[in-house]
Amino acid sequence: GAVVSQHPSRVICKSGTSVKIECRSLDFQATTMFWYRQFPKQSLMLMATSNEGSKATYEQGVEKDKFLINHASLTLSTLTVTSAHPEDSSFYICSGGGSYTDTQYFGPGTRLTVL
């Protein structure tokens, strides 16, 4: 299957700082990537859909000014959590799908802890 990487895998930061998470498709081009968030004991919730070369589409309740998404190329999307607070602590996962498949492939996730 296709490979998606995320960096960093884990980050601990102080409240008020900004954190950037990178999502890369390593062996396919992803016109669209998705960003999810998963709180403990809950399922994945879609935050936004990231389209290469255009603005991201955010789900209801997700603040676009707080969660900045950039999809500058067909292999890279970034999510920046601005002015992070402890309630932003979560598991952030990206996914992408290649043109040859109906399946989405997930990155390994980034565990964010805001102190």
Partner 1 sequence: RKEVEQDPGPFNVPEGATVAFNCTYSNSASQSFFWYRQDCRKEPKLLMSVYSSGNEDGRFTAQLNRASQYISLLIRDSKLSDSATYLCVVKAGGTSYGKLTFGQGTILTVHP
Interface with partner 1 (CB under 8 A): 1, 31-32, 34, 42-46, 49, 91, 93, 95, 97, 99, 101-109, 111
The residue (of 34 and 67) whose beta carbon lies closer to partner 1 is 34
- Determine the Cα angle at 18 with ends 12 and 19, to 5°: 55
| Residue 22 CB, nearest approach to partner 1 (Å) | 15
| Residue 12 CB, nearest approach to partner 1 (Å) | 15
| Residue 105 CB, nearest approach to partner 1 (Å) | 8
Token pair recorded at residue 20: 């950037």
Token pair recorded at residue 39: 């709180």
Of 32, 35, 68, 79, the C-alpha closest to 53 is 32
The residue (of 34 and 114) whose beta carbon lies closer to partner 1 is 34
